[in-house]
Amino acid sequence: MTRRTRRALRIGLLFTAPWSIGLLAFVLYPVLASLYHSFCDYSVFRTAVWIGFDNYRELLRDEVFWKTIWNTGIFALAAIPLGIVVAVALAMLLNTKSHGMVVYRTIFFIPSLVPMVTLAMLWMWIFNGSYGILNYGLNGVLRLLHLPFEAPGWLLDPHWAKPALVLMGMWGCGNAIVIFLAGLQDIPVSLYEAAEIDGASRWQKTIHVTLPMLSPVIYFNVIMGIIGTFQVFAVPYIMTGGGPQRATLFYAMYIFQTAFEDLRMGYASAQAVILFLIILACTYLATRVMRKHVHYGGV
């Protein structure tokens, strides 16, 4: 290496040092430490003791573990497709050339900027069975139609608690809407013009032009949705604490309880490793399924 090359290398390493140090200290080391401690009996108050695969064997016998896997899986299966459909539909509406569209786009994006804690507290009141505005409106409609039903106690009913959280998740889909909107505006107008010449209807243009050209963006949001829903924590932790009857006890919440309430860091590390493998497997499966349906640049 010449003197000039060495100098350029030192300058480059200096500029990348903050990122490199952060990666090593806050990402790589915690991941490796968690992997090691998953094979140990460990808490923050005593030295780790190597116990091999005992933590993983205990997971297989843990009924709460399987319950949280079930809860998280059902939540993901409901929240991801519904979130994609709602975000795409709203993005298509916001992509029309109407007066004041910039204002409408801002209105739909603002909810995604609300802090999670504030959002959870707001929706706790909306879902309140006695005083919530949602049940007030639903009961009014049911009485108007003379139907012998009452709106459910959303967060107090094991059957309605997860659907309530899925419904609440639609409130913060502004980020996905912006991404889909950018993807829609990137579709060449010539494709729609060619479809019109061939006599395609609006629905046919949506199915055969819009969705195929939007498929890379849909794929990206599906992957991000898988990662996000399997790590859902803050909102259900604040709103329900995992209840009622563990109906909203999701996997990330169980890891938190095991680590910071029961102080079983080794067992929690094993749970974290399993979560990583689940997300990895689901991401791989989604990639395999969508590979033939994702089109890049008309390919």
pLDDT tens digits for the chain (299 residues)?
A: 788 888 999 999 999 999 999 999 999 999 999 999 999 999 888 889 999 999 999 999 999 999 999 999 999 999 999 999 999 999 999 998 888 888 988 888 888 888 888 889 999 999 988 888 999 998 889 888 888 888 888 999 999 999 999 999 888 888 999 999 999 999 998 999 999 998 889 899 999 999 999 999 999 999 999 999 999 999 999 999 998 999 999 999 999 999 999 999 999 999 999 999 999 999 999 999 988 888 876 54
Question: The pTM is what?
Answer: 0.90
How far are the Cα atoms of 236, 275, 279 from residue 231, in angstroms, in the given order?
11, 8, 9
Please state at what angle helix 63-94 crosses helix 101-109, rounded to 10 degrees. 170
> Three-state SS across the chain?
CCHHHHHHHHHHHHHHHHHHHHHHHHHHHHHHHHHHHCCEEEECCEEEEECCCHHHHHHHHCHHHHHHHHHHHHHHHHHHHHHHHHHHHHHHHHCCCCCCHHHHHHHHHHHHHCCHHHHHHHHHHHCCCCCCHHHHHHHHHHHHCCCCCCCCCHHHCCCCHHHHHHHHHHHHCHHHHHHHHHHHHCCCHHHHHHHHHCCCCHHHHHHHHHHHHHHHHHHHHHHHHHHHHCCCCHHHHHHCCCCCCCCCCCHHHHHHHHHHHCCCHHHHHHHHHHHHHHHHHHHHHHHHHHHHHCCCCCC
How far are the Cα atoms of 82, 134, 152 from residue 142, in angstroms, in the given order?
25, 12, 12
User: What are the b/e assignments for 107-118, b being 16+ CB within 10 Å?
Assistant: ebbeeeeeeeee
